[in-house]
Amino acid sequence: MPSTPTRDLPEEFLAATRKSQEAAIRAIKTWVETVRTVTSRLPSVTAPFADKLPKPEDVVASGYDFAEHLLAIQRKFAEDLLAATEPLIPVSSKRAWQDVTRKDAAAAAEKTAAAAKTAVTETAQAARQVVAQAAPEPAAPKAPAPKAPAPKAAAPKPAAPKPSAAKSAPKPATRRAPKATGTS
pTM of the complete model? 0.38
Write the pLDDT tens digit of every residue in 114-146: 777 777 777 777 777 766 665 544 444 555 555
Best mean pLDDT range from 46-50, 91-95, 148-152: 46-50
pLDDT, averaged across the chain? 75
Would you kindly state where each structural domain of the chain is located, as residue ranges? 54-88, 90-132
State the DSSP code for 49: T
Rounded CA-CA distance 120/69 in Å is 28
Q: Is the pLDDT of residue 163 over 80?
A: no
What's the confidence (pLDDT) of residue 105? Answer: 76
- Output phi, psi for 157, to 5 deg: -75, 140
Q: What angle do the packed helices 5-39 and 91-134 form, to 10 degrees? A: 30
Write the pLDDT tens digit of every residue in 58-110: 999 999 999 999 999 999 999 999 999 988 877 765 566 566 667 777 777 78
The more confident residue out of 43 and 162 is: 43
How many Cβ atoms sit within 10 Å of the Cβ of residue 1?
A: 4
Q: Is 70 left (phi over 0), alpha (psi -120 to 50) or beta?
A: alpha
What's the confidence (pLDDT) of residue 166? Answer: 47
Mean pLDDT of 31-56: 87
